[in-house]
Amino acid sequence: MNNPFGSRWHATSGAVGCVLALVAGCASVPPPTEQMAVSKSAIANAVSAGGSEYASVEMRSAQEKMDRASRAMGKEEYEEARRLAEEAQADARLAEKKAQSAKAEKAASVTQEDIRVLREEMNRKTK
Amino acid sequence: MKNHRFQLAALIAVAMLAGCSTLPASDSPLALARNEYNDAQANPQVTSLAASELRQASDSLDKANKASTKGEDRAVVDHLAYVARQQVAIARETARQKAAELAVANASRERDMVRLDARTREADAAQRSAELSQRQSEAAQRSAEASQRLSEASQRNAEDSQRQATAERLAASDAQMSAQAARRQTEEAEGRARQLESQLRDLEAKKTDRGMVVTLGDVLFDTNRAELKPGGMRNVQKLADFFKQYPQRRLVIEGFTDSTGSNTRNLELSEKRANSVRLALLDMGVGTERITARGYGESYPAAGNDTAAGRQLNRRVEITVSDDGGKIAPR
């Protein structure tokens, strides 16, 4: 397979791209210790908000990504670890929110039912 | 060298592809993130209730777009797009939660309103009913009092208006019957007590431990005689009328003398006088089983026997009226 562009200019831009790719792949990134801690606490919050019960998919995804992030940390793949940890944090926050919104909606429907019953009772009493 | 050139070409191709990916495939994570973000932004509930969450999602989406435009690694773009999508979902859930919380708050307010409304209605109804019974009882009270006064006046008038008075009292009872039950009973009891007292007052009755006592003085009998004089008869007639009205009451007639003369004679005289009052009452239609007569002679003096005035007080016939139960305490 030959270079389909072939000109010098394209060779230069290719080289720049190569350098960028090398920089991105380079392991000189510091370990995302802070992000790991933030994500762990987001998962803990989600669990205590009832995430496992109300948003099991997101909860499982967060925990799985957190495990993978820990393994990446062990292998000093810090960029990968940071991304996984960030996604785990997003998953955990979503799970927490889903639990909270489900609970709030349940409370709202209970209250509505209360009012309906109360009204019915009032109407019966005044009749 | 040939191998090296190939590698370079492959890298260039990758870089070019990344650079061209400003319009990603419609099922790529970035395209999904953009669509979902646009949907969320078109939803007024999300924009009003989860504005800051939506802004975070927008920032993340910008980062993903920039990374895509700059032709960064697919994994980086996908990662940023993923985070943006989750943040859009977080904004949606936040809006749902807040809407539900608002509904709960509104519902609590509504419930308070319903309760307040119900309580107000109950209180109003109670108030109305209380006012109504108050008015009724006041009216009944007024009418009862009016009838009572009328009836008392008629009774005080004279013996021959007795029947009229009875009719008045009946009218009074009728009026009272329309009043509240408890009230009516009290009123009637009080009315009766007042009537009784007023009638007994006419007979100059005195309240004693044993009951109301009417004393017929010695002027109603001639000296040493047991026959009632006409003045005595009038008093006895009043008594008879009284006892006809109160058939449940009994009476004890007790005769007394002063210490002048022999004990035996005095005892006999006091008995005879008590008995003639009893006979007079029997003649006037008071049932025999209700009257007991006794003479005590000079016992139980009401005053000293050493003055004429004291002796006059001791010469007497006492008529003791029982309570409603027909009982009189023994002497």
Average pLDDT of every residue of chain B: 82
Give yes or no for A83 touching B (CB within 8 A): yes
Give me the residue label for tokens 């210790």: A33
pLDDT of B282-305, one tens digit each? 888 888 888 888 899 988 888 888
| Average pLDDT over every residue of B194-205 | 72
Give yes or no for a contact between B297 and B256, defined as CB atoms under 8 angstroms apart: yes
Bigger pLDDT: B235 or B22?
B235
Give yes or no for a contact between B227 and B233, defined as CB atoms under 8 angstroms apart: no
Bigger pLDDT: B13 or B48?
B48
Tell me the chain B residues in contact with residue A87 when contact means C-beta distances shorter than 8 Å: 79, 82-83, 86
Give yes or no for B117 touching A (CB within 8 A): yes
Helix pair B74-157, A78-126: axis angle to 10 deg: 20
**Neighbour-count burial for B162-201, b at 16+ CB within 10 Å, e otherwise:** eeebeebbeebbebbeebeeebbeebbeebeeebbeebbe
pLDDT of B311-329, one tens digit each? 888 888 888 888 777 777 7
C-alpha distances (whole Å) from A20 to each of A31, B18, B21 are: 20, 12, 17
Tell me the chain A residues in contact with residue B98 when contact means C-beta distances shorter than 8 Å: 104
Q: Shortest CA distance to B265 belongs to which of B314, B313, B294, B298?
A: B298
Hey, are the CB atoms on B111 and A21 less than 8 Å from each other?
no
Bridge partners, B206 (sequence order): B213
CA A28 – CA B133 distance, rounded (Å): 94
- The pLDDT value recorded for residue B176 is 63
Give me the residues of B, 62-101, that contact A with CB < 8 A. 71-73, 75-76, 79, 82-83, 86-87, 89-90, 93-94, 96-98, 100-101
Give me the residue label for tokens 């948003």: A55
- The pLDDT value recorded for residue B125 is 86
| Average pLDDT over every residue of B15-39 | 74
Q: Please report which residue ranges of chain B form alpha helices under DSSP H.
A: 2-19, 29-41, 44-49, 51-69, 74-157, 162-177, 181-202, 230-245, 263-283, 308-314
Give me the residues of A, 14-73, that contact B with CB < 8 A. 14-15, 17-18, 20-21, 24
Determine phi and psi for B318, rounding to 5 degrees: -105, 135
CA B238 – CA B23 distance, rounded (Å): 125
pLDDT of B56-100, one tens digit each? 999 999 999 999 999 999 999 999 999 999 999 999 999 999 999
Burial of B241 (0-12, 13-18, 19+ CB in 10 A): middle
Tell me the chain A residues in contact with residue B117 when contact means C-beta distances shorter than 8 Å: 122
Give me the residues of B, 9-48, that contact A with CB < 8 A. 9, 11-15
Hey, are the CB atoms on A91 and B86 less than 8 Å from each other?
yes
Give yes or no for B123 touching A (CB within 8 A): no
Q: Shortest CA distance to B201 belongs to which of B213, B190, B192?
A: B213
Give me the residue label for tokens 């005289």: B269
